[in-house]
Chain A
Amino acid sequence: MSGGRDAILGSIRRSLGRGPLSGDAAAALEAKLAAPPRGIIPRRVQLDPAALVDLFESKAKGVNATVTRVASADGVPDAVADYLAHENLPASLRMAPDRGLDDIPWSKRPTLTITRGPSDGSHEVGLTGVFAAVAETGTLMLASGPDSPTTLNFLPDSHIVVLRASQVVGPYEAGWDRVRATYGSGSMPRTVNFVTGPSRTGDIEQKIYLGAHGPRRLHIIVIEDGEAAPPAPDGA
């Protein structure tokens, strides 16, 4: 609808009292979009990698996620099976095709039934990896793609997430750095979900209840893989 586009841009320019931007003015804005400057980074995330993992855990627990740490990928099957038993959930998972989950020795717990792929709503428990984890607010960054169907993040009643300590970053901006490094500047996956705790609503008399439409349980398993995250840039 180019008529609408020209009319709206024209109306904006009339109100601002100028024509289209050009020359230095436009170049300066283009430069900013090509190399976005960082804004204010809260001091709370200016920590070393190990402390960031602690911050992530404490923030995630503060928003009703549960968190378990394991020393290596070997510990994950037990952690998952134990969690399901503890919550009285069936020992059955719908797992993302995420290659990052392949090196976990799932056969250690043969009673765990695992199928892989997106969810059609019939699964009680979904298990995914993450793209990154933001310590600042205990937030998971999940990026859509062949490895990570978006439906797995929202349809199953319980969402188990397996992440490595090296995937933990401090502020959201560090997460965006990783997105640009992975997808190229200006290019994005279809969806980046920032997930902070389980689904909730306060729509009935202002009290919070979990499990509105998304998962009512979010369980996070952190593999302490000992690889340092890239150092956080200065806050400036």
Chain B
Amino acid sequence: MQPTSRNFPQQSRDALADEKLQRAMGMMKVGFVEKRRAAAEGLPEFEALRDKARDIKNEVLANLDFYLERYADRVEAAGGHVHWCRTPEEARQAVLAICRRLDARTVTKGKSMIAEEIALNDFLEKNGIEPVETDLGEYIIQLRNEPPSHIIAPAVHVLKSQVEELFREKHTELDPNRVLDEPESLVAEARKMLRQRYFDADVGITGANFLIAETGSSVIVTNEGNGDLTQTLPKAHIVVASLEKIVPTLEDAAQILRVLARSATGQEFSSYTTVSTGPRRAEDPDGPGEYHVVLLDNGRSAMLGTEFQDMLRCIRCSACLNHCPVYAAVGGHAYGWVYPGPMGAVLTPTLIGIDKAGHLPNASTFCGRCESVCPMRIPLPKMMRHYREREYERHLSPPAARAGLGAWAFFARRPRLYRSVALLAARMLGMLGRGGAIRRLPLAGGWTAHRDLPAPAGRTFHDLWRAGER
């Protein structure tokens, strides 16, 4: 998808005014936060496992070349093929070549953020191949012709009533008078509509939550079972995954899996966690005849050794999104590209450039909740601040912001002048603020348009401190 992150300010204003979206986000907010808290409290080893998960990933990143080579060797030893792709275009072409060779008409898809990142669906359609999303959330947004708004719950912005309207509009072969009041009937309908598509598909494409160097395995974590049907029934299974998904051993995967579902949905383990290695063996009664891994770089190798390396620890759990007050207020589409919320605020400028995505690291109050819940202990606010610094250095921040910061810096370097001006300002604001609050302030319309500013109540902090009132 073409990034529209440049329009974040307008997109977020539109989101705030969107009544249906606000209702949907209201439901999301409470559910995920409570469930994650309960799950974390239910495992005494949870905090120690977060540290362990961080350490496992740091060690992988320091030795990423070694582990990738071992991983690729093991995949090939098991009868699979690895396609090393530097760019989204190389990855798309690798997938297309496999589909063409197998004369694929339709491909089923498990949920994959990498597939979104390389805009795979549009590309397949342009080349005469029909992609069928099987994850219920992805299926819903595919029918609505829009991108996902959350990295694990793609249709979190859609209300049940909207799903019902959508299914009535699109599932034209079903009885138009059927009752769809209960959400169960919507789930059952999607199950029925998709069942035959699994069998018809020539190729199945999934992402990977982990790639395991020890055995050359890919791991998918789902609840629906759609990923498993996608990868088992067709002639070929293609895994699309980025480089940093590697972990060294099966034990390492188990360590991180213990914090993944708990951080994401509050489950102790997802309904289906599947570890796949190579194609069907000669003696297997079912399974795909071919197994391919499309391994994507797209900027990850360049992140190593920089102040953004920690972002490569991300396991796409969505805890940061679920706890972010900004994401909860505006939803994922406002961010304008594949990755929303705090992790998107760091990853998007890294992948598409700070000039196109500069608003995103600024869309934060640095409340720090994201970092406090990240299972991989990624310092998200720190990296957002790096981006703000870079923006400032490259003169990309808005002129008014630069002028304001420049003025404040002038006074902050002259402490006595700062204190006198602060005292004067406090006295003037005190006079302006009748009844304890300032409703409108010239030059600060951006703030006071939506909020009252509490009026200063007399003496400055410096004054009180000097007078010994601590």
Encode A184-204 as 1/0 by CB contact (under 8 A) with B.
001111111111111111111
**Interface residue ranges of A49-104 to B (CB < 8 Å):** 59, 63, 97
Binding site for A on B (CB under 8 A): 24, 27-28, 31-32, 43-45, 48-49, 52, 56, 62-70, 72, 74, 78, 82-86, 90, 94, 134-137, 140, 153-156, 159-160, 163, 183-184, 186-188, 190-191, 194-195, 198-199, 213-215, 217, 223-226, 228-229, 232-233, 243, 248-252, 254-255, 257-258, 265, 267-281, 283-287, 295, 297, 301-306
The docked-state distance in angstroms from the alpha carbon of A232 to that of B387 is 48
The total of interchain contacts (Cβ-Cβ below 8 angstroms) comes to 262
Instruction: Pick the contact of A149: B43, B66, B254, B286 (CB < 8 A).
Output: B286
With an 8 Å Cβ cutoff, the count of chain A residues facing the other chain is 76
Partner of B275, one of A5, A136, A192, A196: A192
Q: A11-B301, A12-B301 are in contact. Are A176 and B86 (CB under 8 A)?
A: no
Complex contact A39–B273 (CB within 8 A): no
B84 contacts A40, C-beta separation under 8 Å: no
B224 touches A206 (CB 8 A): no
Is residue A108 contacting chain B, with contact meaning CB distance below 8 A?
Answer: no
Least distance between A176 CB and chain B CB atoms (Å): 5
* Chain A residues near B184 (CB-CB < 8 A): 209
**Are B305 and A211 in contact (CB-based, < 8 A)?**
no
Which residue from B83, B85, B213, B269 sits with its C-beta under 8 Å from A196?
B269
Contact A190 B213 (CB under 8 A): no
Closest CB of chain A to B172's CB: distance in Å? 21
Is the CB–CB distance between A212 and B226 below 8 Å?
Answer: yes
Tell me, in angstroms, the Cα distance from A2 to B157 when the chains sit together: 42
Q: A188-B275, A211-B191 are in contact. Are A146 and B225 (CB under 8 A)?
A: no
Question: How near does chain B come to A67, taking the closest CB pair, in angstroms?
Answer: 16
**Does A43 count as interface, using CB distance less than 8 angstroms?**
yes
Chain A residues engaging chain B, CB cutoff 8 angstroms: 1, 4-5, 7-9, 11-13, 15-17, 20-21, 26, 29, 32-33, 36-40, 42-43, 59, 63, 97, 117-118, 121, 136-137, 139, 144-146, 149-151, 153-155, 171-173, 176, 179, 186-207, 209, 211-215
**What is the CA–CA distance of A33 and B28 in the complex, to the nearest angstrom?**
41
* A-B contact sample (15 more), CB < 8 A, given A5-B72, A214-B225: A1-B83, A13-B65, A16-B64, A36-B252, A144-B286, A172-B254, A172-B257, A176-B250, A188-B275, A201-B136, A203-B137, A203-B155, A206-B156, A212-B226, A213-B229
The answer to whether A9 touches B250, judged by C-beta atoms less than 8 angstroms apart, is no
* Bound Cα distance A139, B221 (Å): 13
A1 CA / B258 CA spacing, docked (Å): 35
How many angstroms from the CA of A97 to the CA of B276 in the assembled complex?
21
In this complex, what residue of A is CB-closest to B161? A205
Q: List 23 A-B contacts (CB under 8 A).
A: A1-B85, A5-B82, A5-B84, A7-B86, A8-B295, A8-B297, A15-B301, A33-B70, A39-B56, A63-B267, A121-B195, A154-B232, A189-B277, A190-B281, A192-B274, A193-B228, A199-B223, A200-B271, A201-B187, A205-B159, A209-B187, A213-B191, A213-B224
* Chain A residues in 8 Å Cβ range of B283: 145-146
Cα–Cα distance between A198 and B295 once the two chains are bound (Å): 31
Closest to A20 in B: B65
Partner of B64, one of A12, A17, A63, A117: A12
Instruction: State how many angstroms separate the Cβ of A230 from the closest Cβ of chain B.
Output: 17
Complex Cα distance, B257 from A61, in Å, reads 21
CB within 8 Å for A32 and B248 given contacts A8-B301, A11-B301: yes
A32 to chain B, nearest CB (A): 6
Identify A36's interface contact among B66, B249, B301, B306, CB under 8 A: B249
Beyond A36-B214, A40-B45, whether A15 also contacts B250 by CB under 8 A is no
Q: Which residues of B contact A11 (CB under 8 A)?
A: 86, 297, 301-302
Q: Which of B66, B163, B257, B303 neighbours the largest number of chain A CB atoms within 10 Å of its CB? A: B66
Give the complex CA separation of A8 and B71 in angstroms: 14
Question: Are A8 and B243 in contact, CB atoms less than 8 angstroms apart?
Answer: yes
Closest 4 A-B residue pairs measured CB to CB? Answer: A214-B225, A4-B84, A212-B224, A36-B249
Contacts of B229 in A (CB 8 A): 154-155, 213-214
Taking a contact as CB atoms under 8 Å apart, the answer to whether B85 and A204 are in contact is no
Q: How far is the CA of A20 from the CA of B94 in the complex (A)?
A: 27
Q: Which chain B residues border A145 with CB–CB below 8 Å?
A: 281, 283-284
